[in-house]
Amino acid sequence: MARIVGDKLGEALGQRVVVENKGGAGGVLGTTSVARAAPDGYTLLLGHTGTLGINPYLYKNVTYDPRKDFAPAGLVARIPLVMVVNPSLPATSVSEFVSFAKERPPGQLNYASSGVGTGSHLAAELFASRAGIKMTHVPYRGTAPSITDLIGGRVDVSFSVASSVASQVEGGNLRALAVTSATRSPTLPSVPTTTEAGLPGFEAVLNYGILAPAGTPVEIIKLLNTKLQSVLTSEDMKKRLIADGAEAAPSSPEEYSALIADDLTKWGEAVRSSGAKLD
């Protein structure tokens, strides 16, 4: 995501945008480094739901506040998840899946995730909480092994990004019950939303956006937002993001700020429901 947007943003700004990957603690280290950087517009963060909406509740020693330590420049893209099941499961819609789960002992159905505290893990927990069902979590080290076991029937359901499962859905190896966004995904346009499929109002989307350190001058934020919006409205950028399972979502700084606050509320609920904690 950073490289797709960074190259075009650099062209729009007339400066090279260097993407620096800072791994560690699920993005906590990289995010913290930007929070502490000089507020001059030259150090930016590609923030996302994990670092801004989940990590403050998941990790014990997060030292940044998503609402106070950053100046949002604008949303970049939204990535919905796809609820996929093994085709042997007798459920062809979300409502049928919920009914099937309620007919069985709590926890008998299990769901795969790409790891503890990831979007796939917490989306499933949020879904279970809203649907009033209990499922057993089976965490994997990454998406690929979780999908392999889902296809093999060793787990029942997973919430994954569309780009990871689209080919398996189209090939009949997995059945897609719903996408977790308010509107259908261009990657899998025939798959209904969770609202359409039987769980009204449920939404679990991963948001990506550009932020600067708090205190960055307003005129710099406005410039970044103007250039970012021009990049995201190009047809080439829209196509590149769709290929990555994402949808371009240009916004104002204020809209992105409100979305971060919403993410903190929603994903905080999911972390509490899961009981997950990481050092």
* Mean pLDDT of the 200-221 span: 96
Q: Distances from the Cα of 232 to the Cαs of 41, 48, 154, in angstroms? A: 20, 17, 40
pLDDT at residue 279 in the model: 74
In the block, tokens 């979502």 appear at 249
Phi, psi angles (nearest 5°) of residue 133: -125, 165
- Looking at domain 79-197, its CATH class is alpha beta
User: What's domain 2-78+206-274's architecture?
Assistant: 3-Layer(aba) Sandwich (3.40)
Q: Are 120 and 158 in contact (CB under 8 A)?
A: yes
What residue spans define the domains of the chain?
2-78+206-274, 79-197
What are the pLDDT digits (tens) for 124-166?
Answer: 999 999 999 999 999 999 999 999 999 999 999 999 998 899 9
pLDDT at residue 179 in the model: 96
- Read off the pLDDT band of 190 (50, 70, 90): very high
Question: Does pLDDT of 260 surpass 90?
Answer: yes
Do domains 2-78+206-274 and 79-197 share one topology? The answer is yes
Q: Are 81 and 161 in contact (CB under 8 A)?
A: yes
What pTM was computed for the model?
Answer: 0.91
pLDDT at residue 64 in the model: 96
Structure-token pair, residue 213: 């350190």
Of the chain, the end-to-end C-alpha distance in Å amounts to 27
